[in-house]
């Protein structure tokens, strides 16, 4: 799985207009298409995307048919007023006649969170000492945030192999560990990593130091993903 698809950075940019979507942290083309009731192929075609694995946070994508396309012609706006036509005698309807009911647009259902494939149970260790200052909601925050100070040790939440060490927009210095049963954990805003890609690490082993790269304060942004889909890590931490 491409790291660029697995993790994209969050953005505080202003909202976009109807028919468009601004890429957020953790999005991929499949989830964006599903969220907007479109096919992935349509989103790729409408945005002329050459490499589906290379979308970036903050990028604005069209998620509705372009005006004038065959797909757009089939869209019912539900809000078009029409001039009353004359009656059979050739006269317009009386002023006192009740106005025709205006068509009402049916609100779109709220997008459902993607459902992860079954990965089996997992037991995690808390990756850093500190207060949880941000909790999982699956949309704006796809993990948890733990506050602390620069240099606070960060440990591997579970045994696995280091899959990525580097920088990613919105995450700052980032480290990703691949675990068994389809799980990945990620550790963001690091001051520095103390392990290398391809290295096997044990649960509880120090892997990095807390920092504030691309964050307003020293903190760890920690995510757990099952087959690429974010899940709440707090359900797998001690005492849960």
Q: What is the pLDDT of residues 214-231, one digit of tens each?
A: 899 999 999 999 988 899
**How does pLDDT run across 65-109, given as a tens digit for each residue?**
887 665 544 433 332 223 333 333 344 444 454 555 554 444 444
CB 19 within 8 A of CB 63: yes
Number of domains in the chain: 2
CATH number at residue 44: 3.10.350.10
Write down the residue that tokens 């709220």 correspond to: 110
For residue 32, tell me if it sits in a domain.
yes
Q: Does the predicted TM-score (pTM) go above 0.75?
A: no
pLDDT at position 44 is 84
Q: Is residue 208 predicted with pLDDT exceeding 50?
A: yes
For residue 42, tell me if it sits in a domain.
yes
Q: Work out the burial of residue 153: count CB atoms within 10 Å of its CB; fewer than 13 is exposed, 13-18 middle, 19 or more buried.
A: middle
**How does pLDDT run across 23-35, given as a tens digit for each residue?**
887 788 878 887 7
CATH number at residue 143: 2.70.70.10
What residues make up the domain containing 22?
3-62
Same structural domain, 231 and 144? yes
Identify the domain boundary among 22, 44, 62: 62
Same structural domain, 138 and 230? yes
Write down the residue that tokens 């992860």 correspond to: 116
Same structural domain, 137 and 56? no
């Amino acid at each position: 799985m491409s790291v660029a698809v697995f993790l994209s950075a969050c953005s505080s940019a202003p909202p976009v207009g109807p028919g468009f979507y601004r890429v957020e942290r953790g999005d991929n083309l499949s989830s964006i298409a599903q969220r907007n009731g479109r096919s992935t192929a349509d989103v790729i075609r409408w945005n002329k995307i050459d490499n589906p694995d290379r979308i970036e946070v903050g990028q604005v994508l069209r998620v509705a048919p372009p005006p004038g396309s065959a797909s757009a012609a089939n869209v019912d706006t539900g809000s078009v007023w029409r001039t009353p036509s004359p009656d059979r005698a050739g006269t317009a309807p009386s002023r006192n006649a009740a106005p025709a009911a205006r068509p009402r647009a049916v609100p779109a259902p709220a997008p459902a969170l993607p459902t992860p494939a079954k990965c089996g149970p997992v037991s995690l260790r808390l990756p850093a000492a500190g207060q949880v200052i941000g909790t999982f909601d699956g949309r704006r925050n796809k993990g948890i945030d733990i506050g602390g100070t620069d240099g606070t040790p960060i440990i591997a939440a579970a045994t696995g192999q280091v899959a990525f060490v580097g920088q990613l927009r919105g995450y700052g210095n980032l480290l990703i560990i691949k675990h068994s049963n389809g799980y990945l954990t990620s550790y963001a805003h690091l001051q520095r990593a103390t392990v290398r890609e391809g290295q096997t690490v044990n649960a509880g082993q120090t892997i990095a130091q807390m920092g504030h790269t691309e964050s307003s304060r020293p903190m760890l942004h920690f995510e757990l993903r099952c087959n690429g889909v974010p899940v709440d890590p707090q359900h797998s931490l001690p005492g849960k």
